[in-house]
Amino acid sequence: MDFGSILSAALSSALGPQAIVFALAAIGLNIHFGYTGLLNFGQAGFMAVGAYGLAVTVVTYDQSFWLGVVVALVAPVVLALVLGVPTLRLRADYLAIATIATAEILRLVFGAVETREVFGGSNGLTGFAKTFQDLNPYSGPLDLGIIRFRPDDLWSLTVGWILVALGCLFVWLLMRSPWGRVLRSIREDEDAVRSLGKNVFAYKMQALILGGVFGGLAGLFFAVKQASVVPSDYSTNITFYAYTALLIGGAARVLGPVVGAMIFWFLMAGIGAFFSQATAGSDPLIPTWAMSDIQASLVRLILVGLGLMLLMIYRPQGIFGDRKELAIDAR
């Protein structure tokens, strides 16, 4: 058992591109769910339109990378409008149903044979990230002893964490303002906010758009980082991983989604590495009759689920949350 390599796997995931993607997606969900109380179960859809917005613009329509980036940020706005206009006047659950269904529809459309000319079918699209890779200023790898990042990863990480930091700063600025106060009030009681003369629909729409753009940014970063988009990357469990990250860190806290995403990937990668080592080799630590190496790759999901349950029982407010606030019943 090599604990050094387990720790290394866990740390490089917690600091790596995966954590950035989920931090950005969870920042969006924090605006939706944590601050405004909107149930968006289709963050994967927002990520997908961000990623495909770039890829389709560059690969299919042969436009510049930077136009692709603009499209990737406009697409989630359009998606938010399409989803929000019919549902945001209705009860909260309608948005949940519409978003989860739309995310699935998008994934299926992007992967369909019929639309292969545009979206590349189940193989997706590649070859749109050259502009980004060419900008890489790093020539050598970063070696921190226990973890090591290749130059191209290092470049992604630099851009990604800067995006996360700017995103957090922006959310912090917004949420301490009267605008943020209206969102938090809508989360508590829409009708009360209405009775005070605020256009609740407009604020919910703004929140849905803003959070959706963060989702699009997550998808954009994901696409650029791996230089490809594949429809299967945008399945619904992505949304629920992002929710998990948000709840670990603590909803309605600026840094909650970021720290949550780091912890989530630390555990996912760490537990994964542990079990793959424990079941590997001719004389594994865990005997094969107890667990095969194929089963081992799934055990981490079970354990993370168990951990989430324990968290909800013993620390339902997440890492940063305020227990006192959660204890208040929303009478």
Partner 1 sequence: MPADTTPTTDPLAGVANTPGVKKPDAILVGSSITRQFGGLKAVDVEHVEIQRGVITALIGPNGAGKTTLFNLLTGFDAPDTGEWSFNGQSLQKVPAYKVARRGMVRTFQLTKVLSRLTVIENMRLGATGQRGERFWSAPFRALWSGQEDSITERADELLARFKLDAKREDFAGSLSGGQRKLLEMARSLMVDPELIMLDEPMAGVNPALKQSLLGHVKSLRDEGRTVLFVEHDMDMVRDISDWVIVMAQGKIVAEGTPDQVMSDQAVIDAYLGAHHDTDITELDETELEQATEAELDQEA
We find the least distance from the C-beta atom of residue 169 to partner 1, in angstroms, to be 9
Instruction: Provide the 8-state DSSP code for 233.
Output: G
- Whole-number minimum distance, CB 178 to partner 1, in Å? 3
HSE of 262 in the Cβ direction (CA atoms, 13 Å)?
A: 12
Q: Of 61 and 172, which has the nearer Cβ to partner 1?
A: 172
How do 142-143 and 228-229 pair as beta strands?
A: unpaired
> What minimum distance in Å lies between the beta carbon of 308 and partner 1?
23
Residue 21 or residue 255: which is nearer to partner 1 going by CB? 255
Least Å distance, CB 139 to partner 1, is 37
Q: 254-270: string of b/e by CB count within 10 Å (b at 16+)?
A: bbbbbbbbbbbbbbbbb
Contact 184, 172 (CB under 8 A): no
Residue type, 51: A
| Assigned token pair, 244 | 């998990």
- 159 vs 169: CA distance, rounded Å: 15
Taking the complex as a whole, the smallest distance from the CB of residue 199 to partner 1 amounts, in Å, to 5
Residues in touch with partner 1 (CB under 8 A) = 170, 173-174, 176-182, 184-185, 187-189, 191-200, 206, 324-325, 328-331
Nearer residue to partner 1 within complex by CB, 65 or 170: 170
Nearer to partner 1 by Cβ, of 90 and 192: the residue is 192
Instruction: Select 113 or 330, whichever has its Cβ closest to partner 1.
Output: 330
Tokens of 204: 């919910």
Closer to partner 1 by Cβ: residue 138 or 170:
170
What is the closest distance, in whole angstroms, from the C-beta atom of residue 170 to partner 1 in the complex?
7
Helical ranges in the chain per DSSP H? 3-15, 17-29, 43-55, 65-87, 92-111, 116-119, 130-134, 151-175, 178-188, 190-195, 200-226, 236-249, 256-278, 293-314, 323-327
The two beta strands, 148-149 and 228-229, are unpaired
The whole-angstrom separation of Cα 151 and Cα 82 is 40
Q: Strands 125-126 and 142-143, how do they pair?
A: unpaired
Least distance CB 83 / partner 1 (angstroms): 19
Write down the least CB distance from residue 23 to partner 1, Å. Answer: 20
Query: Tokens 């997440």 — which residue?
Result: 318
Nearest residue (CB) to partner 1, 93 versus 189: 189
The residue among 135 and 192 lying less far from partner 1, judged by its C-beta, is 192
